[in-house]
Amino acid sequence: MGSDANAHQDGQWDDHYWWSADGVRLHARIYPGPAAAADAPPLLCMPGLARNARDFEALAPHVARSRKTIVVEFRGRGDSAYAKDPMTYVPLTYVQDVVALLDELAIPRIATIGTSLGGLVSMFLAASLPDRIVGAVLNDVGPELEKAGLDRIRDYIGVGGSQPTWMHAARAYAELNGAIYPAYGIHDWLRLTKRTHRLTPEGRVIADYDKQIAAPLRLAGDAAGIDLWPAFRAFGDSPVLILRGRLSDILAKPAAAKMAAELPRARLVEVAGVGHAPTMDEPDALVAIDAWLAELPAQ
């Protein structure tokens, strides 16, 4: 529990560790933000299903120029420990884990930036603790998700072996995800692969998550019949930015438009040339996020 005494060499963040209610040691990166924004609600960044804190390695330093930024790693990802019970790899457990962190840090109110799974956790946080959420970015996710895209994710999560080099891993990752980022070159794929993979002690490159995160997804009828619109509406009149990859197979354009019409301060921005999900360092996304930041309460 607690933060490392020394910041990383680049001075951007401190590592912070905390414990879940069921004894899993969890990790977050904390970017301190400017002293002038010390009273502003911090930003809580939450990555997608198979992602980790490195998902925000470009965005977090950018938004931390405005206010304190916390990037969590859900259990079973990155430097967070793997859970003994794979059935705890579900959104409601992630909500409990995040709330434990916020309580430990004595943070009363936050704005969230969530990609995919992270956006679902944002909605559940709003539903359970509406007074603590002052705004949200939902990155290519919402209350209505496309079955075809979900099936695609279920097919690849938790499978796959190791690669001998980063270049081999990048080419394999590109083959799997080429339709999502069609304009990417090999250097882009290397950058993305290094965000999502790690080296084993034997020097092999593997995906940086516990393959058991797939276990709850294998259950028949997973998430079927759950109405997530009440959770989305729980954002109320807070500023909500809906980012949608124009090629997304997860968040359909009509569903995103419906989301934007549902809340008084919701805004939809499509990110050109990418699918699920934008990395949020695209120019379109950064401009939209900066405008959203300007709408957040100063204290």
Euclidean distance between CA atoms 181 and 42, whole angstroms = 30
Euclidean distance between CA atoms 276 and 254, whole angstroms = 16
In sign, the C-alpha dihedral spanning 47, 51, 57, 59 is negative
H/E stretch holding 262 reads: helix 253-262
Structure tokens at 184: 């990417």
Query: What type of residue sits at position 123?
Result: M
Euclidean distance between CA atoms 93 and 108, whole angstroms = 20
The confidence band for 159, taking pLDDT boundaries of 50, 70 and 90, is: confident
Checking if the pLDDT of 190 tops 70, the result is yes
| pTM, rounded to two decimals | 0.95
pLDDT digits (tens, 9 = 90+) for 268-280: 999 999 999 999 9
Write down the residue that tokens 């690849």 correspond to: 156
pLDDT digits (tens, 9 = 90+) for 83-105: 999 999 999 999 999 999 999 99
Reference 269, options 250, 281, 286; nearest CA is: 286
Checking if the pLDDT of 151 tops 50, the result is yes
Backbone φ and ψ of 108, nearest 5°: -75, -35
Reference 188, options 52, 279, 264, 285; nearest CA is: 279
pLDDT digits (tens, 9 = 90+) for 117-134: 999 999 999 999 999 999
Q: Quote the pLDDT of residue 156.
A: 82
Euclidean distance between CA atoms 256 and 287, whole angstroms = 19
Q: Is the peptide bond before 53 cis (omega within 30 degrees of 0)?
A: no
Lowest mean pLDDT of 9-23, 29-43, 272-286, name the range.
9-23
